[in-house]
A and B are shown apart, each in its own frame.
Chain A
Amino acid sequence: MPRYVARFEKGGYTKYISHLDLLRVFKRAFKVMGLDIRYSNGYNPHPKMSFAQPLSLGYSSLCEYLEFETITPHDPESLKEDLAKNLPRDLAITELFQFDSEVKTLAAESDACEYRIFVPFEGTEEEFRDLFTSYMAQDRITALKKMKKTKTMEEVDIKDKIRSWKVSKEGDNAVIDCILDSGSHSNLSPELVIKSFLDFSKLPLMRWDLEVQRVQQFFTDRIRF
């Protein structure tokens, strides 16, 4: 079956479109294009399309992946053009390519994601670096996480899941660039980093003062784009 991956940006206000709504937006676009998306078999056939990693509501992104299957082969370039025409203006397709792979889904191969966290900060870059360094220097970085099975809040240590980080200053914001575990084996949401950092730093900020952008997604070695 011909299989494709579209890489796109979630820009402007489209960061407020939820995962499910975004799926509908693409489904609608494919329908208008008259694309022969492959459907699953069964009583409630659904189109074979999925995102590599869901993105939290409110995050913008420079790098989202949607994979989909069609019945007949298509030219990726013209697919890209056609798709771009049928999407809201702030969803920009940056790349679309054929994806011949043995892997079941991209989602299953997700390994890590890189984020930029924008923290309003009046001090200097050095001051912020000191602050974040001391945050990272803790023996354990604990955060409360809602457990999937028991639905209870449990304390988890997220330190090992932060693979790398650096900070800088851009205008009124300090920016934390970080790579976090992602995927079924080990996953860390930027929300836990933000929460524990705000608690630690005692910065007088509310969660909604911060912006988050996903910059890159990394996959296991089985994926080669």
Chain B
Amino acid sequence: MSIDISRQLDKLLKRVEKPGRYIGGEVNSVMKDPEETDVNFCFCFPDIYEIGMSYLGLQILYKVLNDRPGVFCQRAFQPQTDMEELMREEGMPLYTLETKTPLKEMDMVGFTLQYEMSFTTILNMIDLAGIPVKAADRSEDDPLVIAGGPCAYNPEPLWEFIDCFLIGDGENLLPAFTDLYAEMKKSGATKEEFLKEACKLRGVYVPSFYDVKYHEDGTILELCKLVEDAQLPVKRSILPSVEGSAFPVDPIIPMVEAVHDRAVVETFRGCTRGCRFCQAGMIYRPVRERTREKVMELALKQLDNTGHEELSLLSLSSSDHTEFEEMAMDLVDCTKSRQVSLALPSLRMDKFAFNVLQRIQEFKKSGLTYAPEAGTQRLRDVINKGVTENDIFTSVRQALELGWTHIKLYFMIGLPTETYEDLDGIADIARRICDLNYEINGGKGGRFKLTVSVSNFVPKADTPFQWEAQDTPESFRLKHNYLAEKLRNKRIVFNYHDNETSAFEAVFARGDRKTSALLYEAWKLGCKLDGWSEHYRPDLWEQAFMNSGVDKDFYTTRKRSADEIFPWEIVDPCVSREFLRKEAEKAYEAVTTHDCRYGCVGCGINREVRCEKGGIYHA
């Protein structure tokens, strides 16, 4: 530990809010001697402690790395602004929570890329650590800056700042990467020499080993590699099975309350539904399940070890687990006897779900949430959201009859082919649910409340909608106003998202290397923690667009041609482009594709790994 830092830290911590976020030392946090380990790694979450500590991926990788004797994985988060200001004033660099060591002294710092709006915070953390923000400016003495996570599927906006991306499941790839590092460090290899070896590992993308050539109109002419051993495309790393994969049953227990302070078990990875807007549904294929026994074992061990009072399941669609009903009943029984509350997110609201919820909630009925995503059957067919109006109303009726008084509906606007008729559809569903409530709960309608949340569609890389134009901010505004008018009702609460944020998100979701200049400018101007409304500065972002000369519309409102080469094709998600294109064509005709657990739809994932659902790919 650095004595200087700890003495300095003592003075800062007396002047900031919630100093408990900056101290480490939690139960189950790991302590090793950095002098005795080959690889000193710092896991960085580009948001504040309370958010980062709620993220399961951190706990998984922390365990995976620290289970290796030669590796010491520590943690760092973005400090809240009061703390950051003091750190900068006092010249104190970002440090690891475990040993209070400056990040600059690590072998590697690794960022998780969970959402585009965290990108400026990454730059900020690198800078706060005293590490040059641009990879090209770093020396042999600086740590290797790496990154992974869902946003790494389009890594290009960050290409200037990250030395190396790890793409796909991290459980096997990350330790393979650190092992290779340890071996080469012993033999005195330079960072460059190491990266030239590492880029042979599946899932490793080193941006400086590639070049991108552009047409005059700004679209891509060619992606090429500059180093022989670099892979093009870089195939994502895929864990063949999650049943036996590392899972933390003794996670770190924060002393300061995190956003989610609960035990979590990932029941399966991947999704078979094939919603056309959903990136997670594509990039986490194939579906890999944990058995019901394994889920129970992990849940019980975790509850035993942590004393958590809440247990939640994690997956893209809880009810889709093969043994879901049996599993849910087991969990209801075991959580009840332990006085632990059970959360079952993303449930399909069928008869079984109501039975389970009745047993879990008994007296306390919290709200029920539905995500039809679109207002008409036609548009739901376009996006391949397999929900019918009948599903919704049958289920809402049952909920009201059982005494639920708060229903939430999620929709997206700005979806491909959307018209105002589809917006009318949203208003219509809301109105009919209110009517249903009067019918069931009598003339005055009881304490009923309906929340309608509308988010702006952001086309994402590696989805069937990757070719689509995003709505203009002006169009979003008109649609919000239109809906606000239509949903004027004392029973209805109408929420919608900020339009500008959606546009910035869209730029980076499908951005190329040129957008890194925008990111750099925005950070230089002071943007960080953009996901927080109190920190988000649209004026600075507008300024950043001007300064960087990045053309927003080129990335947001431009429809791409069918044969355009995309920046993210440097990475291969292992779902074929032909499949995505076919899905896009079907979308235009409002033709649905069935859930692939009932027969393979040919996404191509089985070329790379066995698909438990029996995938067959016909090229």
Query: Taking beta carbons and an 8 Å cutoff, which residues of A are in contact with B?
Result: 12-14, 16-18, 21-22, 24-25, 27-32, 57-58, 86-90, 207-209, 211
Interface 1/0s, chain B 31-44, versus A by CB < 8 A? 10000000000000
Establish whether residues A28 and B10, one from each chain, have CB atoms under 8 Å apart when the complex forms: no
A58 and B307 contacting across the interface, CB-CB below 8 Å: no
Give every chain A residue within 8 A of B23 (Cβ-Cβ).
13-14, 16-17
- Closest chain B residue to A90, Cβ basis: B25
A150 to B135, CA, bound (A): 57
The number of residues on chain B lying at the interface, defined by a beta carbon within 8 Å of a beta carbon of chain A, is 25
- Please report the C-alpha to C-alpha distance between residue A30 and residue B306 in the assembled complex, in whole angstroms: 10
- Residues of B contacting A89 with CB < 8 Å? 25, 31
Q: Which of B12, B20, B304, B305 contacts A17 (CB 8 A)?
A: B20
Asked if B307 contacts A211 (CB within 8 A), the reply is: no
Kindly count the residue-residue contacts between A and B in the assembled complex, taking CB atoms under 8 Å apart.
62
Partner of B24, one of A13, A27, A29, A30: A13
A148 shortest CB reach to chain B, Å: 22
Q: Nearest A residue to B10 by beta-carbon distance?
A: A211
Return the CB mask of B303-315 against A: 1 if under 8 Å, else 0: 0111101000000
Chain A neighbourhood of B25, CB < 8 A: 12-14, 88-90
The interface bits of chain B over 264-308 (1 if a CB of A lies within 8 angstroms of the residue's CB, else 0) are: 000000000000000000000000000000000000000011110
Contact B255 A21 (CB under 8 A): yes
Nearest first, the 10 closest Cβ-Cβ pairs linking A and B are: A31-B307, A13-B23, A16-B19, A208-B14, A32-B307, A28-B307, A208-B11, A58-B14, A17-B20, A16-B20
Say which residue of A29, A32, A87, A208 sits within 8 Å of B304 (CB atoms).
A32
Distance in angstroms from B264 CB to nearest chain A CB is 16
In chain B between 467 and 488, which residues have their CB closer than 8 angstroms to a CB of chain A?
none
Q: Is the CB of B255 within 8 A of A17?
A: yes
Residues of B within 8 Å of A13, CB to CB, are 13, 23-25
Binding site for A on B (CB under 8 A): 10-15, 18-20, 22-27, 31, 253, 255-257, 304-307, 309
How far is it, in angstroms, between the C-alpha of A21 and the C-alpha of B257 when the chains are bound?
A: 7
CB-CB nearest in chain B for A210: B14
B13: A residues at CB distance < 8 A: 13, 16, 58
Most buried by B among A28, A58, A209: A28
Q: Give Cα A205 to B19, complex, Å.
A: 21
Distance from A221 Cβ to chain B, minimum over Cβ atoms (Å): 36
Q: CA separation between A25 and B20, bound complex, in Å?
A: 12
CB distance B20 to A18 under 8 Å? yes
Complex Cα distance, B19 from A208, in Å, reads: 13
**Chain B minimum-CB-distance residue to A207:** B14
Are B304 and A25 in contact (CB-based, < 8 A)?
no
Beyond the given A58-B13, A86-B27, please list 19 additional residue pairs across the A-B interface where CB-CB is below 8 A.
A12-B25, A13-B13, A14-B23, A14-B25, A16-B23, A17-B255, A18-B20, A21-B20, A21-B257, A22-B255, A25-B255, A28-B27, A29-B307, A31-B309, A32-B307, A58-B14, A88-B26, A88-B27, A209-B11
On chain A, the residues within 8 Å of B22 by CB distance are: 16
- Chain B residues with Cβ below 8 Å from A27 are 307
What are 28 A-B contacts defined by CB distance under 8 Å? A13-B13, A13-B23, A16-B13, A16-B19, A16-B23, A17-B256, A18-B18, A21-B20, A21-B255, A21-B257, A24-B257, A27-B307, A28-B27, A28-B307, A29-B27, A30-B307, A31-B309, A32-B304, A32-B306, A58-B13, A58-B14, A58-B19, A87-B27, A88-B25, A89-B31, A90-B25, A208-B11, A208-B14
Which residues of chain A are within 8 angstroms of B304 by Cβ–Cβ distance? Answer: 32
CA distance A13 to B23 in the complex (A): 6
| Separation of A113 and B14 alpha carbons in the complex (Å) | 22
- Nearest chain B CB to A119 CB, angstrom units: 14
Q: How far is the CA of A65 from the CA of B18 in the complex (A)?
A: 23
When A13-B25, A58-B19 are in contact, do A21 and B256 touch as well, CB less than 8 Å?
A: yes
**Chain B residues whose CB sits within 8 angstroms of the CB of A32 once the complex forms:** 304-307
CB of A200 to closest CB in B, whole Å:
21
B31 surroundings in chain A (CB, below 8 A): 89
CA distance A14 to B19 in the complex (A): 10
Considering the complex, give the chain B residue whose CB is closest to the CB of A87. Answer: B27
> What residues on B are CB-neighbors of A16 within 8 Å?
13, 19-20, 22-23
Interface centre among B12, B256, B305, B307 (most CB of A within 10 A): B307
Which residues from chain B contact A58 at a C-beta distance below 8 Å? 13-14, 19
Closest B residue by C-beta to A20? B257
Q: With both chains docked as a complex, state the minimum distance between the C-beta of B465 and any C-beta of chain A, in angstroms.
A: 44
- B18 to chain A: which residues have CB within 8 Å? 18
A16-B13, A209-B11 known; A28 vs B253 contact (CB < 8 Å): yes
How far is A209 from B8 in the complex, measured between Cα atoms in Å?
Answer: 10
Residues of the A chain whose Cβ atoms lie less than 8 Å from the Cβ of B255? 14, 17, 21-22, 24-25, 88
A4 to chain B, nearest CB (A): 18
State A131–B363 Cα separation when bound (angstroms). Answer: 64
A contact residues around B309 at 8 Å (CB): 31
Task: Give A29 to B306 CA distance when docked, in angstroms.
Answer: 8
